[in-house]
Amino acid sequence: MAGRRVVVTGIGTINPLGHSVEEYFTNLENGVSAAAPITHFDATKFRSRIACEVKDYDWTRYFDRKEVRKYDLFAQFAMISAAEAVRDAALEDEGIDLERVGVVWGSGTGGTTTFYEESKGYIEGNFTPRFSPFFVPRMVSDLAAGFISIKYGFMGPNYCTVSACASSNHAMIDALNLIRWGKADVIVTGGSEASINDPGVGSFCGMQALSTRNDDAAHASRPFDKDRDGFVIGEGGAALVFEEMEHALKRGAKIYCEVAGGGMSADAYHMTAPHPEGKGALISMREAIRDAEMSIEDIDYVNAHGTSTSLGDVAEVKAIKGLFGEHAYKMNISSTKSMTGHLLGGTAAIEALACVMAITKGVIPPTINVENLDPEIDPELNLTLGKAQYREVRAALSNTFGFGGHNSSIIFRKV
């Protein structure tokens, strides 16, 4: 798409593999699994009792008691991720027009912990008839973007995208286009989620979507493996600073890579199951490549949605083969969810970081836990099994698909 070019000038994260980008990518490169028994609540009543929680999290390292009262855990993860990215991009330096800096954030469920605890407390009579005055601000998904803008004084476009697991990819694609269209010069974008709680785990258990490999949590998330039995729920967030290239160059900002293009589509098939032939996924990837004005041969790495579900993994591989043809055998493909679990609306943001770091460091993070490849998946594809692989990555495409048939793909490329 013709228009202003957009680059990444800052990154930040807190997720199951680390409290910073450096820690996260080191663990990705080393093939570390974050899955373990749930500690956030008593999960013994559920079929699935494992998750990828943020380890050793202590909110007092980031917030004072008065401040944290305003934030559900998903918003805490958003604020922490954004703080690292804002520092990395030097957005607090003088001379930046704050009216031209926006925030576009993604979250699929928002403050589910707040909603559950407040509703439970009300029903049980713990504070009848008065809800907390912070109930709504802590619960609604859009307040993560609002809190970030309030902290830093960013007065440009500000909103949240909510499209299940595609939420933060949609947020990043919107951020890309807003800058292209001249609506902003800089946008802090990404996503976060914190749904490892009774309703979050219980609802996905009710759908039989979660792995029940409770006695072997580290090997439970196994995309592309014939013995996969569902995804492992995760939590956390990531932020990326998107900036118009000339604006970044003028102020001497560090540039990681270019945001080349984005694609979106709908399966128009089923409320939770993907199209069995991956038609929507193929359209999404095709449109991202078209939007970037690139060819399929330009893509060196695909970060697959790869959730470790029986239908989704096969459909996505069909879409990749259908679009890329012979070039599919020359690319690397991997699912980093094998290590991080599935962060729902926040997952695309941390996977975008994996793509950015793959480009800047020349490292393809692996797909771990594949012991017996699904016979429906072509064994000649390079799924980066077991160990990281090292190569030049000119461009990386990241897929994220969500319930409702939402498909999204975003491309990052070397500048």
Residue 280 · residue 267 · CB < 8 Å: yes
CA distance 44 to 324: 44
Say whether 165 is catalytic. yes
| Structure-block tokens of residue 186 | 């800089």
CA distance 403 to 272: 5
Angle in degrees, CA 34, 39, 40, rounded to 5: 110
Q: Which one of 19, 40, 247, 342 is the catalytic residue? A: 342
User: Hunting for tokens 């930040």 — which residue is that?
Assistant: 12
User: Hunting for tokens 């609540």 — which residue is that?
Assistant: 41
Q: Which one of 19, 305, 355, 406 is the catalytic residue? A: 305
Q: What is the identity of the amino acid at 395? A: A
Say whether 170 is catalytic. no
Residue 370 · residue 339 · CB < 8 Å: no
Q: Which one of 165, 205, 257, 355 is the catalytic residue? A: 165
Say whether 305 is catalytic. yes
DSSP reduced 3-state for 58: coil
Q: DSSP state, 238?
A: E
Angle in degrees, CA 144, 147, 151, rounded to 5: 145
CA distance 347 to 262: 16
Burial of 23 (0-12, 13-18, 19+ CB in 10 A): middle
Closest Cα to residue 280, out of 397, 401, 403, 106? 401
Alpha helices (H) in 292-384, listed in sequence order? 312-324, 337-340, 347-361
Angle in degrees, CA 403, 190, 75, rounded to 5: 90
Q: Active-site residue numbers? A: 165, 305, 342
